[in-house]
Amino acid sequence: MAPGTFGTIAAIPIVFFMANLSLPVYIALTVLCAIAGIYICGKAATNVGVHDHGAIVWDEIVGYMIAMVAIPVSWHSMLVAFILFRIFDIAKPWPISWLDKHCSDGFGIMIDDVVAGLAALALMHLIY
């Protein structure tokens, strides 16, 4: 039940501990995780035989990492990023919905959450 939400919850301590990294290192690690996620999510989907199975949550972790780029970490900023990311990930406004429907394999699993994270990030920077 609600695997994307629980996957995003799993990202909270990761982002909390990454907060002490310099911005270039944080961004590099986030990009590396996103690129690795294409393989990780694709392999997991192949292994279970289901595209974007609920047990695959690496994409949510990366999406939340993106939503917190260059945002000062506090309980409220992490909560707002969580809510915004989940809204974009669940509602899938355009172009997220288009990417979700038209991209496949590991890239398809990752890209909608990457763009949802970017959308949440844009709003986070407007707020903070």
Predicted confidence band at 53 (pLDDT cuts at 50, 70, 90)?
confident
- Please determine, for residue 63, whether its predicted confidence score (pLDDT) is greater than 90: yes
User: With helix as H, strand as E and coil as C, how does the chain read?
Assistant: CCHHHHHHHHHHHHHHHHCCCCHHHHHHHHHHHHHHHHHHHHHHHHHHCCCCCCCCCHHHHHHHHHHCCCCCCCHHHHHHHHHHHHHHHHHCCCCHHHHHHHCCHHHHHHHHHHHHHHHHHHHHHHHC
User: Domain containing 25: what range?
Assistant: 3-127
- Please determine, for residue 102, whether its predicted confidence score (pLDDT) is greater than 90: yes
**How many domains does the chain divide into?**
1
- The predicted model gives 23-39 an average pLDDT of 98
What confidence score (pLDDT) does residue 112 get?
96
